[in-house]
């Protein structure tokens, strides 16, 4: 396997370099399957929506707390 093949497999997973890879498996068909480290994986729209909802709930709680003082 050439370094360019590894680089390509990393880019397919939206990674930048080999330091972002958690695991790699060579499939019987010769394909390299990589998994990025958790902190290197992209957030989905659902992940962002969940965080936004949590932030809104926190903001509402803070506003209630401030109003009760």
**34 vs 27: CA distance, rounded Å:** 10
Residue with tokens 């394909």: 31
- CATH number, domain at 48? 3.30.240
State pTM to two decimals.
Answer: 0.61
Mean pLDDT in residue range 9-14: 90
Which residues are CB-neighbours of 23 under 8 A, at least 6 positions away? Answer: 34, 35
What would the pLDDT profile of 31-62 be if each residue is shown by its tens digit? 899 999 998 988 999 999 999 999 999 999 99
Share of the chain above pLDDT 70, in %: 100
Q: How many domains does the chain have?
A: 1
Q: Which range marks the domain in which residue 57 is found?
A: 3-67
Torsion of CA 12, 14, 19, 24, to 10 degrees: -40
pLDDT recorded at residue 69:
86
Q: How far is CA 38 from the centre of its chain?
A: 6
Looking at every residue in the chain, the average pLDDT score rounds to: 93
pLDDT recorded at residue 58:
97
């Amino acid at each position: 396997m050439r370094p360019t093949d590894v680089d390509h497999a990393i880019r397919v997973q939206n990674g930048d370099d080999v330091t972002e890879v958690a695991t790699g498996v060579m499939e019987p068909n010769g394909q390299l399957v990589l998994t990025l480290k958790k902190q290197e994986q992209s957030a989905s729209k659902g992940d962002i929506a969940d965080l936004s909802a949590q932030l809104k709930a926190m903001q509402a709680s803070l506003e209630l707390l401030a109003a009760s003082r």
